[in-house]
Amino acid sequence: MKWNFFDIGSFLAFFGSGIVVNTLITLLHNSVLLYEHKMNSELELSRLRAVNAEAMNLALKQQIHPHFLFNALNTLKALYHKDTQVADDYIVHMANFLRASIYHHSTHVSKLKAEIDLLYDYLEMQRIRFGAALDCSVDLPAETLESCYLPSFSLQPLLENAIKHNNFTMEAPLKVTIRQQDGWLKISNNIQKKNIKVASTSYGLANLAERYKLWSGDDIIIKEDADIFSVSIKLLNNEYRNH
């Protein structure tokens, strides 16, 4: 069998195109495998981040309760030496607070209304201690209370922080206000700093800031001037905000 120039050229062209096609198929196949591997790796990384976030959030929340219990039990002990009826009232509010704590222990975020209800029990406990020297007002629309969310146990540490760092009396009360400002919740108090520096812990503001950043990806806004200290927290529109 004889081959002429054109037959050989056609054969080489055909054979060459087959190699190109096979090469393209191999490259596409490898690309798909690499893409699938990348997607699986990113998914696994996302899962690991979620597990890590869960662990961090739980650890930060667990810091709050022992701190609260330590202060509450010391207060209760002092109250029983003064007035058993007042101490009994204090126990009722403390029980409500602890019940809510247990109920929301595994939740990352709570409806704003639930946070305010929790704050009220803590506030009543403090009013038993301080009377009219502590003036806290909450002015929030019903729609906001029902539709917005915050990380669980966001508000109580802020009131605790204000009480801890300020002097206040019946004549010069500590005034705390909680208001909505656009899409933010703003908690403010007048500044009457204690002359003696209060020992600080890792709880309170730092805990809240870290938990909020962990869950929402946002920062809280802390401002202080000569007269007013305020913390603003962006309200969450749903309970699945974890970024």
In a domain, 185, yes or no: yes
Question: SS3 letters for the chain?
Answer: CCCCHHHHHHHHHHHHHHHHHHHHHHHHHHHHHHHHHHHHHHHHHHHHHHHHHHHHHHHHHHHHHHHHHHHHHHHHHHHHHHCHHHHHHHHHHHHHHHHHHHHCCCCCEEEHHHHHHHHHHHHHHHHHHHHHHEEEEEECCHHHHHHCEEECCCCHHHHHHHHHHECCCCCCCEEEEEEEECCEEEEEEECCECCCCCCCCCCCHHHHHHHHHHHHCCCCEEEECCCEEEEEEECECCCCCCC
Tell me what pLDDT residue 139 has: 94
205 located within any domain: yes
User: pLDDT of 119-140, one tens digit each?
Assistant: 998 899 999 989 999 999 999 9
Indicate whether 26 belongs to any domain. Answer: no
Whether 172 is covered by a domain: the verdict is: yes
Averaged pLDDT in 10-residue chunks for the chain of 243 residues: 52 54 66 68 57 48 62 84 88 84 69 92 90 94 93 86 91 96 94 74 68 81 93 84 55
Assign residue 60 the CATH number of its domain: 3.30.565
- Flag whether 15 is in a domain: no
Q: What percentage of the chain carries pLDDT values higher than 90? A: 31
| 121 falls within a domain | yes
For residue 39, give its domain range: 31-234
What pLDDT score was predicted for residue 208?
Answer: 80
Taking the model in full, what pTM does it have? 0.67
23 is a domain residue? no
Q: Is residue 227 part of a domain?
A: yes
Structural domains counted in the chain: 1
Residue 218 has a pLDDT of: 85
